[in-house]
Amino acid sequence: MSESAKLHPNPQGKGEKTHGSDFSYVGIDAILEQMRRKAMKQGFELNIMVVGQSGLGKSTLMNTLFKSKVSRKSVLPNPEERIPKTIEIKSISHDIEEKGVRMKLTVIDTPGFGDQINNENCWQPIMKFINDQYEVYLQEEININRKKRIPDSRVHCCIYFIPPTGHCLRPLDVEFMRRLSKVVNIVPVIAKADTLTLEERDYFKQTIREELRANGIDVYPQKEFDEDAEDRMINDKIREMIPFAVVGSDQEYQVNGKKILGRKTKWGTIEVENIAHCEFAYLRDLLIRTHMQNIKDITGSIHYETYRVRRLNESNALFSSQPSDHPAVQPKTNGQPEQQPSTLQANGVAAQHEALSHEM
Amino acid sequence: MASSDVARQPDKGVRPLSLAGHVGFDSLPDQLVNKSIYQGFCFNILCIGETGIGKSTLMDTLFNTNFENFESSHFEPQVKLRAQTYDLQESNVRLRLTVVNTVGFGDQMNKQESYQPVVDYIDRQFESYLQEELKIKRSLHNYHDSRVHACLYFISPSGHSLKSLDLVTMKKLDSKVNIIPVIAKADTISKSELHKFKIKIMSELVSNGVQIYQFPLDDETVAKVNTTMNGHLPFAVVGSTEEVCVGNKMVKARQYPWGVVQVENENHCDFVKLREMLICVNMEDLREQTHTRHYELYRRCKLEEMGFKDTDPECKPVSLQQTYEAKRQEFLVELQRREDEMRQMFVQRVKEKEAELKEAERELQSRFEQLKRLHADEKATLEEKKRLLDEDQSSFSKRRAAAQLLQAQSLTANGKKDKDRKNSGFM
């Protein structure tokens, strides 16, 4: 049974309490302040993955986004410029703070992606990494003695770099995005957009959008997760601009007396944060200023839950088909395919994960 | 085929970094708060106290509305809990408030089991949250959280000490819910008595090992005010929804012939302190404590009771699935056995009933035969009697006819004789 009762709104504005004179004020909206304090105390976590061929400017873009040297290349003392023979997954974490808000930012780099001669199945290690993070979280969640705050290493957002060919998406791009849009939020961007003129850029974007639609690829913000009409309106505007054409830079130049981030060329200086030049500002606003919480929510409540449902169902199926008196035959169901966290056999991917990745 | 190599930097190497400019993630708390505004908040209060102690009035006064409530009788055979949910809104915050009242608490003659319905209610809410969390397809963010966040325990203003019912109940509840004791109807205690009363209550609680809710001290912004308030526990409150004119203002108060007790006057009672602590400062912390401490404790106990463990005797991590599946098999076997048993019992019963019915039928049949025979016998007897009667009747009528004839004959003979005598007499 539910009753609806309206309290008189406090005419003096939020946060002011007056004892005695205005007794229609209860103080329920003080909970917002309490939540804010709690959030500031706990701090936030964000895990971003960057995927794309080498040389597309992924590390630079990360550095530009967060205005500090957060990428792997800036951290390693002597970054090797070789292209690795296999896809590696490297993550670096930093604690950054702005106006009292602390955030643990993890940038996950994937050197070697798309660089081999034969790129078939190059999404597999990435998919496996993402699923492993979900697995770790799931294991902690179903523990009996679990931590107060489960450490969140799940990939919240995957930025996919499309090389600026100006024509259309390559088969590698389509394959990768098709498979991964089901497990993680994908934000496609056109890298090194300063090589395209505005018309070429518009044409490229339109082609990409059509191809995404034709292949049934749902990139962030996904249409089905719009909460209400207002949300849909905002997200529709974003969807019309995807993919963002970005330029990254961590060099500062003087333009018109102001110091701005940009790329200086003989024919002019490209200002990174100027929306007439490139769409970096839109990307930054989307990822950081307006939709960051939403990205984390969708990861947590939709992608993670999908993984969880599949995983629990699959464990059930595995168990009901296994005779219980053959413990040696039972596959390990505690998640990690290897007992030690270090090396993985070349073909020794565990039964479940094999099953999971084959589904893709 | 590209083989893969996974290498990850250890988490310990988290470096602090300074930013060269304004990035913009300082809006994250705002984004989080906006999402919460959109979703709305949930808060559940449990009020325990004797009938008539002022629980409903205090709730009305706290939230400044008239909740639908009616006076309960003092003759409840058992303690019952009545939960009512309300949707409140203040500026842009929507709150779904559930107030749970104990009905009949302290009214029975034997109060030994009074605490049990309360404990059961709290456990039920934890259980339904646990069930939702363990489901395969779950929707936790849409789930209406009904776990009790705060428990206001109303202490009678006797002025002396806690009742043993109070101690027993609070002891049973302190590990399940955040207990905030309040002294009800505080306008019946004088200031000096109140001071002694509070000290007595707190010392009794401490000596009996009852863990009441302490306002949190870890956040500097509120640590100071919380420390002060911790020293004022338990709050002595007065509730009233009636307004009285004091000076030139209308205030919530209770009017007596000897004066007016103002609810929101801090010199008169601690109502304002309670409202500030419960709602304005610590509502979020109450919810968090319920989730991270009380609920986790319940979950741990429940899962361990069901036989789940994190590691089995060989210290290998045991998956929830294995234990769950084993239990499930057990359960299915048990189910099958019970079903077979029931089926057998059913067949047996049917047989017995059938035999009974057959027996009854036979009996009836024999009785019917017997009655028929009796009837035939009686009929024969009656026939015999009728025949005899008929015979009698016929012989009687014959004799009567003969007698009549004889009489008629004798009459005529007598007449003749008379005539003769008459005639002879004349001669």
Give the CA diameter of chain A. 78
- State phi, psi for B42 to the nearest 5 degrees: -130, 135
B268 shares its domain with B333: no
Determine the pLDDT at residue A21. Answer: 36
CATH code where residue B154 lies: 3.40.50.300
B176 shares its domain with B246: yes
Nearest residue to B148 via CA among B122, B116, B109, B113? B122
- The backbone region for B137, taken as left when phi is positive above 0, alpha when psi lies in -120 to 50, beta otherwise, is beta
CA distance B387 to B393: 10
Average pLDDT estimate for A249-269:
82
B243 shares its domain with B381: no
Q: How large is the ipTM? A: 0.74
Determine the pLDDT at residue A76. Answer: 63
Least trusted range by pLDDT, from A85-94, A232-241, B80-89: A85-94
Boundary-marking domain end, from B257, B280, B306: B306
B279: CB partners within 8 A, 6+ apart:
A26, A27, A28, A30, A31, B62
CA distance B368 to A30: 89
Determine the pLDDT at residue B424. Answer: 64
Partner-chain contact A104 B14, CB within 8 Å: yes
A positions 182-221 inside 8 Å of B (CB) = none
Within a domain: B400: yes
- The backbone region for A192, taken as left when phi is positive above 0, alpha when psi lies in -120 to 50, beta otherwise, is left
**Which tens digit of pLDDT belongs to each residue from B51-73?**
888 888 888 888 888 777 667 77
Determine the pLDDT at residue A303. Answer: 92
Long-range contacts of B54-59 (CB under 8 A, 24+ apart): B54/B154, B54/B184, B54/B185, B54/B239, B55/B101, B55/B102, B55/B152, B55/B154, B55/B184, B56/B101, B57/B239, B57/B240, B57/B241, B58/B152, B58/B154, B58/B182, B58/B184, B58/B237, B58/B239, B59/B99, B59/B239
Contact B1, A123 (CB under 8 A): no
B46 shares its domain with B179: yes
Contact B189, B155 (CB under 8 A): no
Average pLDDT estimate for A96-121:
84
The crossing angle, in degrees rounded to 10, of helices A30-42 and B28-39 is 140
Within a domain: B13: no
3-state secondary structure of B369: helix
Q: Amino acid identity, residue B408?
A: A
Which residue among A10, A95, A122 sits closest to B91, beta carbon to beta carbon? A10
Determine the pLDDT at residue A129. Answer: 92
Within a domain: B129: yes
**Which tens digit of pLDDT belongs to each residue from A140-177?**
888 888 888 888 899 999 999 999 888 888 888 898 89
B173 shares its domain with B271: yes
Average pLDDT estimate for B284-289:
90
Partner-chain contact B41 A31, CB within 8 Å: yes
Within a domain: B412: no
Determine the pLDDT at residue A2. Answer: 42
Average pLDDT estimate for B237-253:
85
B238 shares its domain with B323: no
Partner-chain contact A39 B23, CB within 8 Å: no
- State phi, psi for B359 to the nearest 5 degrees: -55, -50
Half-sphere exposure of A325 (CA within 13 A, CB side): 0
pLDDT level of residue A267 (50, 70, 90 thresholds): confident
B272 shares its domain with B338: no
B323 shares its domain with B261: no
Residue with the two structure tokens 């428990």: B151
Beta-bridge mates of residue A244: A189
Q: Which domain holds residue B209?
A: 37-306
Partner-chain contact B1 A121, CB within 8 Å: yes
**Strand B93-103 with B41-48, pairing:** parallel
B44 shares its domain with B131: yes
Sort out which chain B residues have CB atoms less than 8 A from A3's CB and list them: 67-68, 84-87
Within a domain: B415: no
Tell me what the pLDDT averaged over chain B comes to. Answer: 84
Q: Is the dihedral of CA A264, A270, A271, A273 positive or negative?
A: negative
B86 shares its domain with B232: yes
B266 shares its domain with B328: no
Sort out which chain A residues have CB atoms less than 8 A from B29's CB and list them: 36, 39-40, 101
pLDDT level of residue A16 (50, 70, 90 thresholds): very low
B200: CB partners within 8 A, 6+ apart:
B160, B161, B162
CA distance B124 to B146: 9
CB atoms within 10 A of CB B51: 18
| Res B394 pLDDT > 90 | yes
| Res A350 pLDDT > 70 | no
Within a domain: B418: no
Residue to substitute from A1, A7, A73, A292, interface B, most B β-carbons within 10 A: A7
Beta-bridge mates of residue A47: A106
Q: How far is CA A356 from CA A88, A257, A313, A338, in A?
A: 20, 56, 12, 16
CA distance A115 to A88: 12
Nearest residue to A202 via CA among A157, A170, A164, A253? A164
Tell me what the pLDDT averaged over chain A comes to. Answer: 77
Nearest-CA residue of chain A relative to B241? Answer: A23
Beta-bridge mates of residue A160: A51, A188
| Res B313 pLDDT > 80 | no
Within a domain: B162: yes
Domains detected in chain A: 37-73+81-247+275-316 (3.40.50.300)
Q: With pLDDT > 90 as the criterion, what percentage of chain A qualifies?
A: 14
Determine the pLDDT at residue B13. Answer: 56
Determine the pLDDT at residue B85. Answer: 87
pLDDT level of residue A17 (50, 70, 90 thresholds): very low
CA distance B257 to A171: 89
For B150-219, give the DSSP string.
Answer: EEEEEEP--SS---HHHHHHHHHHTTTS-EEEEESSGGGS-HHHHHHHHHHHHHHHHHTT--PPPPP-SS
CB atoms within 10 A of CB A250: 18
Determine the pLDDT at residue A75. Answer: 63
Average pLDDT estimate for A288-305:
90
Boundary-marking domain end, from B246, B274, B306: B306
Partner-chain contact A89 B320, CB within 8 Å: no
Sort out which chain A residues have CB atoms less than 8 A from B26's CB and list them: 98-101
Helices (H), chain A: 30-42, 58-65, 72-75, 123-142, 171-180, 198-214, 229-241, 280-284, 292-298, 304-321, 351-359
Nearest-CA residue of chain B relative to A335? Answer: B319
CA distance B427 to B422: 9
Average pLDDT estimate for B326-345:
89
Within a domain: B8: no
Rg (CA), chain A: 24
CA distance A153 to A296: 11
Boundary-marking domain end, from B306, B334, B368: B306
Half-sphere exposure of B61 (CA within 13 A, CB side): 25
Average pLDDT estimate for B178-199:
89
**Which tens digit of pLDDT belongs to each residue from A180-194?**
988 999 999 998 888
B79 shares its domain with B136: yes
| Domain total in chain B | 2
